[in-house]
């Protein structure tokens, strides 16, 4: 029996850090409000040491919050993420805060205009990305 894929999905992008738990928790709210299934994705570069304890913890958190978690390995994380977003019909993407204007996140904000992005601050506050340009003052970080 073939299961039909949901029309749209909500995606959480995480790294192999325990602190990414806050992003999964915040994303559950967006998935519930948009009535979409929740997925979690971590894309790692091959050969780069990972934190297996953190990934195992995040798998547990994803399960607790009703999400399916996928870990992919790629030499081009941005491309892997974009393909995952397109292949899985993602309409909402929830991430941590970008590191700067050259961040993969900021580049995706500018190119994936059909996806609504949200960021989660280190203290767990959820913010919708309304302006798709990196602006330090919008992120509440000092200049």
Give the tens place of pLDDT for each residue, 8-21: 999 999 999 999 99
- Tokens (6 digits) for 53: 């304890």
Burial (Cβ within 10 Å: 0-12, 13-18, ≥19) of residue 23: buried
Report d(CA 39, CA 88) in Å as an integer: 9
If DSSP codes are grouped into helix, strand and coil, which group holds residue 114?
coil
Q: What's the whole-model pTM score?
A: 0.87
Question: Tell me, what's the pLDDT at 142?
Answer: 42
Evaluate whether 30 touches 118 at the Cβ level (below 8 Å). yes
How many residues does the structure list for the chain?
143
Q: Which residues of the chain carry a pLDDT beneath 50?
A: 1, 137-143
Beta-carbon count within 10 A of 114 CB: 9
Report d(CA 123, CA 140) in Å as an integer: 12
Strand order in the sheet with 90-95: 67-73, 38-44, 9-13, 90-95, 116-120, 126-128
Question: Tell me, what's the pLDDT at 130?
Answer: 87
């Amino acid at each position: 029996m073939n299961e039909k894929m949901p029309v749209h999905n909500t995606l959480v992008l995480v790294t192999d850090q325990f602190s990414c738990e806050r992003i999964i928790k915040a994303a559950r709210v967006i998935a519930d409000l948009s009535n979409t299934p929740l997925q979690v994705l971590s894309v790692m570069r091959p050969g780069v040491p990972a934190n297996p304890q953190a990934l195992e913890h995040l798998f547990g958190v994803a399960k607790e919050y009703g999400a399916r978690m996928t870990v992919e390995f790629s030499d081009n994380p941005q491309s892997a993420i974009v393909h995952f977003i397109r292949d899985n019909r993602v309409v909402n993407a929830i991430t941590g805060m970008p590191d700067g204007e050259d961040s993969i996140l900021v580049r995706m904000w500018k190119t994936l205009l059909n996806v609504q992005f949200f960021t989660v601050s280190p203290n767990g506050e959820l913010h919708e990305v309304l302006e798709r340009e990196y602006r330090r003052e919008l992120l509440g970080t000092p200049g």
